[in-house]
Each structure stands twice: as structure tokens, then as C-alpha cells.
Chain A
Amino acid sequence: MTISEQELARVAELARIRLDPDTVTDVTRRIGNILGMIDRMQAVDTSAVSPMAHPLDTVQRLRPDEVTETDRREDFLAIAPVSEAGLYLVPRVIE
């Protein structure tokens, strides 16, 4: 499996990664090589195999619906790059 530069650009956009135009060809080639290596999986028939999502095949643990955490809003806002009046600041989205 190879990947075209256009496909790569689309995937990078989905991942919100901006590629330097000078490196697109090189990045595409390297990722194409990785996908080629990954394609060795296709040689094995897995039609009768159920996918394994968790190494121990356990189920999600549930807990009582009770408040156990304290409010740490100030602490978490304090590590934001930019915040004001209890809010995260981002560039204007709506004109």
C-alpha cells in the first residue's frame, strides 16, 4: 500500500498537523514505507478471528455515581497558555 501526497495532505489536515511543503515528498515516502511494512498483516487469513481490544479481555469497571473529586478549576486553568476570568482564550471564532 502506498499513499499519495494528496491523501497524506488530507490525513495530516484531519490530524491538525501542518506539513512543511518542502518535506511532503519525503514524509509521504517514509509513511508509504511504513504502510508497506504494515501490509504484511494482509497475508494472514483472520476472517474467523475476533478482534482483541483489551489484553486481558476484561469488562469496563463501574463505580457508584458519587462525587469523589474536588473542584480544582483554578489549578487547571493556571496551566493554560492563556486564560482570563475563568475561561480559556482562543482566537475569535465568530465575527
Chain B
Amino acid sequence: MHDIALEAIAGALERREFSSVEITSHLLERIERANGTLNAFITIDREGALRSAAAADAARAGGATGPLLGVPIAHKDLFCTAGLRTTCGSRMLGEFVPPYSATVVERMAAAGCVTLGKTNMDEFAMGSSNETSWFGPVRNPWDTARVPGGSSGGSAAAVAARLAPGATATDTGGSIRQPASLCGLTGLKATYGRVSRHGMIAFASSLDQAGPIARSAADCALMLQAIAGFDPRDSTSIEAPVPDYVSQLDRPLAGLRIGVPKEYFDPGLHPGTEAAVRQGLAELEAQGAKLVDVSLPHSPLSVPAYYVIAPAECSANLSRYDGVRYGYRCKDPVDLRDLYERSRSEGFGEEVKRRIIVGTYALSAGYYDAYYRKAQQIRRLIAEDFRQAFEVADVIAGPSAPATAFRFGEKSSDPITMYLEDIYTIAANLAGLPAMSMPGGLVDGLPVGIQLIGNHLQEGLLLNVAHRFQQATDWHRRSPGFTA
């Protein structure tokens, strides 16, 4: 039952092959067995899941239908869930029970989804390996000696290990696409503003965006359909109608122009990954798409610009954690200053503190122009590169990550080595563009992801390209064969 794809579950429920309670119970048992090894979940909501599964079964018995009605999924643990602990992978929010739910959570629930639990993640979504979580690292089901990627490592590991058919995730610099790539999954980061950020715990507000991680583009289309759309509670939400993503999936690719940026095939790209990506591009070409060379000359500057903008915004966003209103509070503070400093120092982990300090420095008097203003100028140059590329290409394609999943500890000793994991993904966040990763091969038994980047609001086209690719290939059906 756990091998059934998300898109096929509603049909099976409709045909009464199994009930939502049955598949939910089955997945809960798998999660409970696997979590000791994988650590993909921070919180398992057995009671809540079975209750909503029973409600979905009753609704279906009463004639209700829907492609997600009774479908179990997991939420990344930075989406607030009213009454259910939401930790953001941090000691700071280790016991935090939100008084309201994120719009993403509300919309998935309204579509009939059952929440199995909350998935592990890098602390406050800052990391590319899931090693910064206060709740311990997540293991990659393809090889438990390796990382699942991050920051949405728990969502990716849960879906790859067939503990959940799909999971929500977020992407500030690659946190959906890189773990999807490292775990052999399909993941999509929407256009900035396409999915509401209300109730999504903030990291870097001009970059954060949500999206699904699942096995296929068809699965992702169903999830995106449910969560995309205007929300008055998010001041950056786009007021544009949401197209029918599912009906666009099958369009032929003949004549589609796929831009291949030469900067994404740099010496930092592993040769095996490059070969797999190029083979994937050849498959798209075989379906009638045309490959065109494009250049994104400022993309090498995306990492430095990002590591000013993201820490600057994080230092502002995380100033709210003061030990007073909610979250962790140190024991026996001697005065207010001690309360603030010790609550924050004990509540945050090393990487989070490092970024708060870098961000505070970049925004401090005398440095603002040299850092923040400069980074925002570079950001415009990067966005302008994309604008020009989209004059000759409909979609841009390249690798999602420089190589396959790495071992624990391999990159965690040096922050900059870790930051380069996101070298191909960050630019899309800076420019606010939709982007996805789809499985494109295996190197030494580990998955490789192909990244697709679209123009603003072109999620439908990205899913279309990925779906056509997945009709001709079976990389997205490969399973790590993880025994729960």
C-alpha cells in the first residue's frame, strides 16, 4: 500500500480498494518502525491522522470526492499546525504549540489531506544536509551513511522511504530542490508569492517560498493545486488566478526552447552528475524540445549575494525570539539582558547564531552599503540575466546540486563548503522564479536531480516538462528499497 503514488491514492479510495484509515494506519506503522533509523519525523500525529482519515472516509461514503480527499501527507515542521507542536528543528521552538495553522496546512486540510506528522529539517531551514537540526540528523534512505540534503531533509527522506506519498517543504536557497535531488524525488519551489507564507516560520522573507516534494510531477501538480493562490494574510501573495496544473501535464514538448546555461556546467559539477543531466537533456530533445545555449554571467555571484541577503533578513526575523512571548526561555535569568542573551544563545544552534551575527554585521552602521545594498544590486543583475535568457528560452535546465548525497560530517566542518551545495539553486530564489528538481539518473546507486527553472508563474510549464520526461523515463519510480 505504501508503494502507491500520491496521484493514484484517490482513485484507489474511490474504488474502495482500501480506506483512508487503512492506508493512514499502514503508513503510521511504517513511520514508527523507520523513524529510529531515519529520524525523518520530529512529531508523529497518530491520533489526529486517524481522526481526519476517518472523517475523510465518512465524507467519501457520503458522496464527496477529490484528488486529495483521504490522502495522507506530512508537513515540514516549519508550517504552523494549530494544537500540534511546531519546532522548526530548533530548541528555541522545541515545545512550541502554535495557536493557529499556516495557510498551506489549512488548504491541504480543506482538500481532505490527512497529516501524518511533522518532518525534521535543518534548524530554521538553515542548512543543506539536515545536520543542524536540534532533533538530530535525518538519514538518506538510499544510503543511511549519507545526508538527505536540506533543509527539507525530513520531508525528502519520508517520501523516498515510502513513509508518506508526498510532503510539504520550503525553499529559501534550494531547500526543496537539493533534498529532492539527493533523495531521487520531484520537488517544486513556486514563484515567490504564489504560495502563501502565512504561518510558515520566517527565515529570509524576500526569498522563502513553499512547495511540494513527492515522487512525480503529477503528484506535485495535485499538491501545488491545493496550496497555490492568493492569501490576504500574506502581504507578498500574488493576486493571480491559479491555472489547472493537472490538465497541462500532457502537452507535447515539440518546439519548446530549453535554455542550457554554460555557468551551470562549471568545474564544480561532478562528472557523473553532468553526464546524467546531459542525458536527461537529450531525452527532452528527443521529445521535440530544442536546446539553446544561454548565459547567466552573474550566477557565480549568487552565493555571496545570498549570504548577505539571507542572513540579514534572518537576523531581523529571528530577533522576535526573546524568551518572553513564546519559545525557549533560559532558567533563572538575573536581569532582562541576561534573559534575552541566554535564551537566544541556548535556544539557537551554531549555524543559526552564525547567520544572525553575519546578518547583524551586514546591516550595522557603516557596512550597510558595502554589504546589503551591494547584494541587492547584484540581485538585480542576476534577475536581469534570467530576463534575457527567457527571451530565447521557455525553460532553463541544468543540475540541481553539484553531486549526489554526501556523507555525514563531510561538509559540516566548513560552512562555505556546505554553502556551495546550493550554487545552482540560489539564483532562482534571488530572482523569485519557480524552479523544480526531477530525478534524472543514478550515479553509483545514488540519485541525480535535473533542475528546471521557469519564468514567473510558469509552474504549469515546469510540471509539464517534468511530466513528459517522466512518461519516457523511470528514474522517478526507482525506490531506495528501504525496509521499514
In contact, A79 and B206 (Cβ under 8 angstroms): no
> Does B146 sit at the interface, judged by CB under 8 A?
no
- Asked, given contacts A12-B357, A37-B416, A44-B378, whether A79 binds B97 with beta carbons under 8 Å apart, the answer is yes
The winner among A38, A46, A75, A88 for most chain B CB atoms within 10 A is: A38
In contact, B303 and A88 (Cβ under 8 angstroms): no
- Asked, given contacts A37-B303, A37-B304, A49-B381, whether A3 binds B361 with beta carbons under 8 Å apart, the answer is yes
> Does B107 sit at the interface, judged by CB under 8 A?
no
Closest chain-B Cβ to A50's Cβ sits at a distance in Å of 7
> Does B96 sit at the interface, judged by CB under 8 A?
yes
Tell me the chain A residues, 1-28 only, with Cβ under 8 Å from chain B.
3, 7-8, 11-12, 14-19, 27
In contact, A51 and B373 (Cβ under 8 angstroms): yes
What are the interface flags for A25-38 relative to B under an 8 Å C-beta threshold, 1 for contact and 0 otherwise? 00100110111011
Tell me the chain B residues, 356-397 only, with Cβ under 8 Å from chain A.
356-358, 360-362, 364, 370-371, 373-381, 383
Q: How many residues of A contact B (CB 8 A)?
A: 50
In contact, A52 and B377 (Cβ under 8 angstroms): yes
Tell me the chain B residues, 335-353 only, with Cβ under 8 Å from chain A.
335-342, 344-345, 348, 353
> Does B354 sit at the interface, judged by CB under 8 A?
yes
Closest chain-A Cβ to B350's Cβ sits at a distance in Å of 8
In contact, A41 and B357 (Cβ under 8 angstroms): no
Instruction: Tell me the complex Cα distance, A76–B161, Å.
Output: 37
Choose from B324, B334, B375, B383 the contact partner of A55 (Cβ within 8 Å).
B383
Closest chain-B Cβ to A27's Cβ sits at a distance in Å of 7
In contact, B376 and A91 (Cβ under 8 angstroms): no
In contact, B99 and A75 (Cβ under 8 angstroms): yes
Closest chain-B Cβ to A30's Cβ sits at a distance in Å of 6
Instruction: Tell me the complex Cα distance, A19–B478, Å.
Output: 46
> Does B301 sit at the interface, judged by CB under 8 A?
yes
Closest chain-A Cβ to B373's Cβ sits at a distance in Å of 5
Closest chain-A Cβ to B342's Cβ sits at a distance in Å of 6
In contact, B336 and A42 (Cβ under 8 angstroms): no
Choose from B191, B303, B344, B370 the contact partner of A17 (Cβ within 8 Å).
B344
Residues of chain B with a CB closer than 8 A to A72's CB = 99
Instruction: Tell me the complex Cα distance, A54–B235, Å.
Output: 12
> Does B232 sit at the interface, judged by CB under 8 A?
yes
In contact, A31 and B354 (Cβ under 8 angstroms): yes
> Does A85 sit at the interface, judged by CB under 8 A?
no
Q: Who on chain A is nearest to B96 by CB?
A: A79
> Does B329 sit at the interface, judged by CB under 8 A?
yes
> Does A67 sit at the interface, judged by CB under 8 A?
no
Instruction: Tell me the complex Cα distance, A25–B157, Å.
Output: 36
Residues of chain A with a CB closer than 8 A to B338's CB = 91
> Does B245 sit at the interface, judged by CB under 8 A?
no
Instruction: Tell me the complex Cα distance, A35–B305, Å.
Output: 11
> Does B66 sit at the interface, judged by CB under 8 A?
no
Instruction: Tell me the complex Cα distance, A57–B463, Å.
Output: 25
Choose from A16, A37, A41, A82 the contact partner of B340 (Cβ within 8 Å).
A16
- 17 example contacts (A-B, Cβ-Cβ < 8 A) are as follows A14-B364, A16-B322, A16-B337, A38-B304, A39-B304, A44-B381, A46-B381, A52-B383, A55-B206, A55-B433, A56-B192, A56-B432, A60-B235, A61-B235, A61-B239, A63-B232, A81-B329
Which 8 residue pairs spanning A and B have beta carbons closest together?
A: A55-B432, A51-B376, A81-B329, A46-B377, A52-B380, A75-B99, A18-B341, A15-B360
Q: Which residues does A use to contact B, with CB under 8 Å?
A: 3, 7-8, 11-12, 14-19, 27, 30-31, 33-35, 37-42, 44, 46, 49-56, 58, 60-61, 63, 72, 75-76, 78-82, 88, 90-93
**Given A38-B304, A39-B304, 18 additional A-B pairs, CB 8 A:** A11-B360, A15-B357, A16-B322, A17-B341, A17-B345, A17-B353, A44-B378, A46-B378, A49-B377, A49-B381, A52-B376, A55-B433, A56-B192, A56-B456, A58-B238, A60-B235, A79-B98, A88-B325
